[in-house]
């Protein structure tokens, strides 16, 4: 592995720790709120900053990542920042080429087709060498935030990354990737294990660089049924939480709260609540009360307003937020959307969402 002797100290003192307190299950005066994809194309300043640059070149520029991470915080009183990056930097670290194709999204020039293709992947990844640019972005951003809010680091989870590496891009069925699970279970586990090992080092490196919380995105969980999730996703999700925590202890690094977001995995909420994460993220297709019943009292929930609710008039957004807060309760809860912001959303409506969470949760807490 790699040494953390270079881990930077002397970060500014944190002024607003509401998000971290909620993540750890401590009491908060208001419900904290942030948005997945909050640094994104719905902001004109984001499009301007990104205009001249290739997407992955932007990801490799610590200065640009820092700027893009800070942009939404200049506009909205969000309670957390999430580093601007992409989940596909991990397959890149394994030696795969990914390009961003306008109108199509991320595309692998040579996806994995046969089991033999696994031999082309780097079997041992030095994350500092391959992903050091993300660590630099995190350190720079943590300083530039000046303690305003905590900084979240993240990674894609093994199954989600595997599905991209085999499909070569987005897919509505994931049939190619899923066929590996049925036809080549051993090779699938080999690939998932390789990914998990890199992700563990990558997440630990993010904490060493200054990340104050970590989110694991299992964005393609909904393509799996309960059995395949049990076999090919959950064991690695569990293992990542456990290994990251034990490595953080070994390296005398802060034990930061971890969030698991497995989109459309209602069938696994009970298991996810016991997978070693302080926070379980939810998409918009589950009832808050149902999610609480399934996950119990010992985890914090995060979510889960339908992103498309932000197309509604502002008053309506306020009503939906109030209903959501009443359903989840204001404690052990982090408000968010059930998935990321879309590029055509009105920034003012994002502001209305953030302000409604603060106003209504304060009101509920007082009364």
- Per-residue pLDDT tens for 71-125? 999 999 999 999 999 999 999 999 999 999 988 999 999 999 999 999 999 999 9
pLDDT single digits (tens) 222-261:
999 999 999 999 999 999 999 999 999 999 999 999 999 9
- Is residue 260, in this structure, part of any structural domain at all? yes
Is 164 one of the catalytic residues? yes
pLDDT value at residue 52: 79
pLDDT value at residue 8: 55
- Is residue 204, in this structure, part of any structural domain at all? yes
Is 24 one of the catalytic residues? no
Q: Which domain holds residue 301?
A: 26-366
Catalytic one of 24, 41, 75, 193: 41
- Is residue 5, in this structure, part of any structural domain at all? no
pLDDT value at residue 9: 67
Write the DSSP string, 228-276: HHHHHTHHHHHHHHHHHHHHHHHTT-----EEEEETT-GGGHHHHHTSS
Q: Which runs of E-coded beta strand occur in 54-141?
A: 81-82, 98-101, 105-108
CB 256, CB 80: distance < 8 Å: no
Catalytic one of 17, 21, 37, 238: 37
- Is residue 219, in this structure, part of any structural domain at all? yes
Is 37 one of the catalytic residues? yes
- Is residue 19, in this structure, part of any structural domain at all? no
Query: Strand, coil or helix: what is 137?
Result: helix
pLDDT value at residue 1: 37
Domain count, the chain: 1
- Is residue 236, in this structure, part of any structural domain at all? yes
Task: Tell me the C-alpha distance between 177 and 166, whole Å.
Answer: 5
- Residues contacting 131, CB < 8 A, separation 6+: 89, 90, 93, 202, 205
- pLDDT values of the chain reduced to their tens digit, one per residue, 367 residues: 333 444 456 999 999 999 999 999 999 999 999 999 999 999 999 999 998 789 999 999 999 999 999 999 999 999 999 999 999 999 999 999 999 998 899 999 999 999 999 999 999 999 999 999 999 999 999 999 999 999 999 999 999 999 999 999 999 999 999 999 999 999 999 999 999 999 999 999 999 999 999 999 999 999 999 999 999 999 999 999 999 999 999 999 999 999 999 999 999 999 999 999 999 999 999 999 999 999 999 999 999 999 999 999 999 999 999 999 999 999 999 999 999 999 999 999 999 999 999 999 999 999 9
Query: What token pair was written down for 336?
Result: 């968010």
Task: Tell me the C-alpha distance between 131 and 248, whole Å.
Answer: 18
Using alpha carbons, list the distances in angstroms from residue 294 to 91, 149, 214, 298. Answer: 33, 30, 23, 11
With CA atoms as reference, report the closest residue to 318 among 351, 356, 280.
356
Phi, psi angles (nearest 5°) of residue 210: 130, 0
Q: What CATH number did the domain enclosing 148 receive?
A: 3.20.20.210
- Is residue 7, in this structure, part of any structural domain at all? no
Catalytic one of 42, 142, 164, 236: 164
Is 86 one of the catalytic residues? yes
Query: Strand, coil or helix: what is 314?
Result: helix
Is 344 one of the catalytic residues? no
pLDDT value at residue 7: 46
Parallel, antiparallel, or unpaired for β 105-108 and 98-101? antiparallel
Catalytic one of 17, 21, 50, 201: 50
């Amino acid at each position: 592995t790699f040494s953390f002797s270079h881990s930077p100290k002397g970060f500014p003192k944190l002024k607003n720790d509401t998000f971290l307190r909620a993540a750890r299950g401590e009491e908060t005066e208001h419900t904290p709120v942030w948005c997945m994809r909050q640094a994104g194309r719905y902001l004109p300043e984001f499009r301007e900053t990104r205009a001249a640059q290739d997407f992955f070149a932007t990801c490799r520029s610590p200065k640009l990542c820092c700027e893009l991470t800070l942009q939404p915080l200049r506009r909205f009183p969000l309670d957390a920042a999430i580093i601007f990056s992409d989940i596909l930097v991990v397959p890149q670290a394994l030696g795969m080429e990914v390009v961003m194709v306008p109108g199509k999204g991320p595309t692998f020039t040579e996806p994995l087709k046969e089991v033999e293709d696994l031999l082309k992947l780097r079997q041992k990844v030095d994350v500092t060498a391959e992903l050091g640019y993300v660590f630099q972005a995190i350190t720079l951003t943590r300083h530039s935030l000046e303690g305003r809010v905590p900084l979240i680091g993240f990674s894609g989870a093994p199954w989600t990354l595997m599905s991209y590496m085999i499909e070569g891009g987005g897919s509505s069925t994931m049939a190619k990737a899923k066929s590996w699970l049925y036809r080549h279970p051993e090779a699938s586990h080999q690939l998932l294990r390789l990914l998990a090992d890199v992700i563990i080092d990558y997440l630990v490196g993010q904490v060493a660089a200054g990340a104050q919380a970590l989110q694991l995105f299992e964005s393609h969980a909904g393509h799996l049924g309960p059995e395949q999730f049990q076999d090919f996703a959950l064991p690695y999700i569990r293992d990542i939480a456990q290994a990251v925590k034990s490595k953080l202890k070994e390296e005398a690094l802060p034990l930061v709260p971890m969030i698991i977001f497995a989109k459309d995995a209602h069938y696994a909420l009970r298991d996810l609540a016991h997978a070693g994460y302080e926070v379980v993220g939810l998409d918009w297709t589950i009832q808050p009360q149902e999610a609480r019943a399934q996950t119990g009292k010992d985890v914090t929930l995060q979510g889960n307003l339908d992103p498309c609710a932000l197309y509604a008039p502002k008053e309506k957004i306020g009503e939906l937020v109030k209903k959501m807060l009443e359903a989840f309760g204001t404690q052990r809860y982090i408000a968010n959307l059930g998935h990321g912001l879309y590029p055509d959303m009105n920034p003012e409506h994002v502001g209305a969402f953030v302000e409604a969470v603060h106003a209504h949760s304060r009101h509920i807490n007082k009364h």
